[in-house]
Amino acid sequence: MAIEQIKMPQLGESVTEGTISKWLIAVGDKVNKYDPIAEVMTDKVNAEVPSSFTGIIKELIASEDETLAIGEVICTVEVEGAATTDSDDSSVSDQVSSEDTQSNVSLKEEREDQPNKKRYSPAVLKIAQENDIDLTLIEGTGAGGRITRKDLLKIMNSGTIPTKHETKEKQLEYQQESMKLEEQKPMKHTSTASTSIGDIEIPVSGVRKAIAANMVRSKQEAPHAWMMMEVDVTNLVEYRQSLKNEFKKKEGFNLTFFAFFVKAVAQALKEFPEINSMWAGDKIIQKKDINISIAVATDDSLYVPVIKAADEKTIKGIAREITDLANKVRNGKLTSAEMQGGTFTVNNTGSFGSVQSMGIINYPQAAILQVESIVKRPVVVNGMIAVRDMVNLCMSLDHRVLDGLICGKFLARVKEILEQTSKETTSIY
């Protein structure tokens, strides 16, 4: 027999961690390869994790509601094929002195106490490298002594960051001091709100926890800036109104205003590829493909499916994809593959009447555009007051990647495309 590990799978391109919402197996259960063993939630998808092996479940390393980084071990499976190495320790111990044996026993006890001490997630390694932190001197609070992002952020927030260039004694002193400071702080995640008779307490679901974690990460890591531009879409509204009934009868789905906006954004991204970028620590990655993420909300969750190669699609093709992806979200049939690869997000906040909003960037993308509600307003046209269909475009940007000048040019181009949309200039096919 051999013990094999099953790890947290990659469930999306920008997904860095997942939460075990429910185990579908227990220790001692027999599983076949590809059998579902756990339900996992991320900020983008709910999915079942399949077994990578056929065998007996040996240990559930992660507990339900625990969040682990991609690539971390969630459980072990006993698989037929090789002998275990349980007897190795005894054969080695026969060859060492009693003093060395005692030392080995102590080390073994320490490993059993903290079996995950040196299993670092990619997020932990990245933070440690960027801040020159020696992980061997950090006491982890995760399962089996595992060092978590929260452990490192706690030390960094204390203002006394131990580095690899200081003595071990000094580093331990810093860590103890940071723990004291943390104890003196109020608990950040503990609600101070009191409840009264008639109040309803709603437990936070795994999906909501994942959404919250991703939103917090985006706000903490990306310095958000914001700008807005108003657009006269009177001609676009008239064009769409003249087509919508015949289009619905012919194609079987709606020709929405949102399809026109997504097409205009995709075209502008092709002309301003700097906007279609991502922050990657020591470099900025400018993406070749233009894949538009669109936000689709349910009663208690938010999903971000992706329209791939949006710049190559017609308005009709984009309208079809918007309809298909929204239906999949609401019917629970959206796959993780359909939420991967997004390079820029367009959010249809106008669908519920909003006229101005500041979106949180869909990490690790560099920007998000909120398309607000189209409203009739009096505006000055050629020196005269006229009633026009107006819409606000609100853009949040990661100021590490983008500056106001390039974003202003990009929004101005989107505005130009939309204001020139009409029966004479634009084809939906």
Q: Which residues are CB-contacts of 298 (< 8 A; sequence separation ≥ 6)?
A: 329, 330
Whole-number percent of the chain with pLDDT over 70: 79
Average pLDDT over residues 27-36: 89
pLDDT tens for 169-198 read 555 565 555 555 555 544 444 455 778 898
- The model carries a pTM of 0.62
Q: How far apart are the first and last CA of the chain?
A: 61
Selected residue with higher pLDDT from 19 and 346:
346
Element (H, E) at 250: helix 234-251
Q: How confident is the model at residue 85 (pLDDT cuts 50, 70, 90)?
A: very low
Domain pair 2-84 / 225-419, same fold: no
Selected residue with higher pLDDT from 147 and 79:
79
Selected residue with higher pLDDT from 339 and 247:
247
* DSSP conformation letters of 202-215: -PPPHHHHHHHHHH
> Is a pLDDT exceeding 80 seen at residue 223?
yes
Average predicted confidence (pLDDT) for the chain? 83
* C-beta separation of 310 from 259 below 8 A: no
> In terms of Cα–Cα distance, which of 275, 296, 299, 298 is closest to 287?
275
The helix/strand/coil state of 22 is: strand
The type of residue at 339 is: M
Catalytic residue among 65, 100, 113, 399: 399
Is 403 among the residues known to form the active site?
Answer: yes
Judge residue 239's burial from the number of C-beta atoms within 10 Å of its C-beta, 0-12 exposed, 13-18 middle, 19 or more buried: buried
Give CATH for domain 225-419: 3.30.559.10
> In terms of Cα–Cα distance, which of 282, 289, 279 is closest to 401?
279
> What's the alpha-carbon Rg for the chain, to the nearest Å?
27
Q: Where are the domains of the chain?
A: 2-84, 122-184, 225-419
The type of residue at 145 is: G
pLDDT at position 115 is: 54
pLDDT tens for 114-169 read 555 556 666 677 777 767 777 777 777 776 677 777 777 777 766 566 555 555 55
pLDDT at position 83 is: 47
The CA distance from 161 to 131, in Å, is 8
Question: Tokens 């500041």 — which residue?
Answer: 358
Is 189 among the residues known to form the active site?
Answer: no
Q: Domain 2-84, what fold?
A: OB fold (Dihydrolipoamide Acetyltransferase, E2P) (2.40.50)
pLDDT tens for 248-266 read 999 999 999 999 999 999 9
Selected residue with higher pLDDT from 27 and 123:
27
Element (H, E) at 3: strand 2-7
> Is a pLDDT exceeding 90 seen at residue 243?
yes
